[in-house]
Structure 1
Amino acid sequence: MGQQEHVRAGDDGSEPTVTRGSRTNGSRAQKEVFEWVKALAIAAILVLVIRYFLFAPFIVDGPSMEPTFYTGERLIVNKVIYDIRKPQRGEVIVFHVPEEGRDFIKRVIAVPGDKVKYEGDDLYINGKKVDEPYLKESIAEANAQGEDFNNQGADRNFPNANFTTDVVPEGTVLAFGDNRRNSKDSRMIGFISTKEIVGRADIIFWPMDKISLVNHE
């Protein structure tokens, strides 16, 4: 059937006018709905691409990275950076631990070819002392109590004084938690395969008062 038309004569005897039905309005409404659906579909696809291929959220669980991160803080993990280049010393990474069935967050201490040695709170890589500015406050607090920060904690579950490794193999990194007294890391689980690395923690986005970029130095 064609579009309905209504003819109405003017009250003053003028030529009759033609009023079209509601089909035009209905077509316009359908088009608007279609545009909204299309926009939402595109947005959903973009979210999925960003979520699964570019970035991912991560929730900190446990004290192993204190005081850098605390339990409950939420981070944005950059999932593509290590497709472009290799991990570097000092970078905070998230990686799969198949034996644990979960992801860990730690800091890269050494990369392939490095030989690492700790003497108390002093880190040596390839025989050269390396500063760890992210541990400065923790080390100062421990030293003020006459202790080394890198020595065993009160529970004695993490023997890490004078830790020494062989040369870090290709395709792996050595990663420790910033809270050396309470961190299950490469000292217990060994070298981390780069194939298990999810990405680099780049942004703290929760809580709101801690929104900031992650320090990798």
Structure 2
Amino acid sequence: MLTRLLTSIKNNLGFIVMLLLLFSVRSSLADWYHIPSGSMLPSVEIGDRVLVDKTAYRIEVPFTDTLLVKTGTPARGDIVVFESKAAGERLIKRVVGVAGDNVVMQNHRLRINGQPLSYDDENSLLIEKNSDGQTYTIAIDTAYGPLANFSAVTVPDGHVLVLGDNRSHSADSRVHGFVPIHEIKGKATRVVVSLDKQHHYLPRSDRFWQPLI
């Protein structure tokens, strides 16, 4: 039995090495994440598969959470994927506040460190421009609900404040609190492929390889 096993391994060594390399890459360098909900609409749609750069902030030993080297820190405007202990699941959200930032929201409009963000209204969509000059579109309900406001908070060290771009329909830092940076698995950089669940999973070819930043 052992001889047969060793012979099988020898005969398939190339394939085994290829699989190990593939899973090592997914574990430490890059991965893709299926979008199951609309919390990041309109930036990220249900059925998108997004490419996640796992080296954006840290490089880990493959198949572990052991840090090899820190490569950066999340910045305002980044779309991050993280394993939320508070929510008990993997989430994708946008960073709007970093350590030391004082953040307040009124009618879905943010004020960071005393400075209001810039907004252009388009009915239920808002073009939001942050203090770092990044511009992206967020969605809101014009009838403001309980998620439309929160009092001033200061982001603690080692954490970020995240929101979904679909501001009225996202369980984010307003529900689960600040996100510890060590929970962040990487930065979502672009849509790889997109399948339309409402239309028999037909591909949305216009979204293939579209950048998110």
Q: Cα–Cα, structure 1 residues 188 and 100, in superposed 2: closer, same or farther, change >3 Å?
A: closer
1:59 aligns with 2:25: no
More strand by share: 2
Among 4, 25, 40, the alignment partner of 1:50 is 25
For 2:17 and 2:172, the matched residues in 1 are separated by 41
For 1:119 and 1:46, the matched residues in 2 are separated by 48
Q: Cα–Cα, structure 1 residues 143 and 92, in superposed 2: closer, same or farther, change >3 Å?
A: closer
For 2:115 and 2:16, the matched residues in 1 are separated by 54
Contact 1:153 1:181 in 2 (8 A): no
Q: Secondary structure at the match of 1:165?
A: strand
Matched residue, 2:84: 97
Q: Secondary structure at the match of 1:86?
A: coil
Matched residue, 1:212: 209
Contact 1:150 1:160 in 2 (8 A): no
For 1:122 and 1:52, the matched residues in 2 are separated by 37
For 1:119 and 1:129, the matched residues in 2 are separated by 10
Rg bigger for which structure? Answer: 1
Matched residue, 1:141: 123
Q: What is the number of equivalent residue pairs in this alignment?
A: 170
TM-score (structure 1 length as normaliser): 0.70
1:125 aligns with 2:112: yes
For 2:45 and 2:177, the matched residues in 1 are separated by 24
Give, as a single letter, the amino acid of the residue that structure 2 aligns with 1:211. Answer: F
For 1:53 and 1:200, the matched residues in 2 are separated by 13
Contact 1:152 1:160 in 2 (8 A): no
Contact 1:174 1:192 in 2 (8 A): yes
Matched residue, 1:16: none
For 1:65 and 1:101, the matched residues in 2 are separated by 18
Name stretches of at least 5 consecutive residues in structure 2 with no aligned partner: 1-9, 59-70, 127-138, 195-202
Matched residue, 1:25: none
- Aligned runs of 1:144-183 on 2, under 5 Å? 150=140, 156=145, 159-183=146-170
For 2:54 and 2:125, the matched residues in 1 are separated by 37
Contact 2:161 2:177 in 1 (8 A): yes
Name stretches of at least 5 consecutive residues in structure 1 with no aligned partner: 1-33
1:202 aligns with 2:189: yes
Matched residue, 2:129: none
Q: Cα–Cα, structure 1 residues 98 and 62, in superposed 2: closer, same or farther, change >3 Å?
A: same
Q: Cα–Cα, structure 1 residues 171 and 119, in superposed 2: closer, same or farther, change >3 Å?
A: same
Contact 1:93 1:200 in 2 (8 A): yes
More helix by share: 1
Q: Cα–Cα, structure 1 residues 115 and 99, in superposed 2: closer, same or farther, change >3 Å?
A: closer
C-alpha RMSD of matched pairs (Å): 2.5
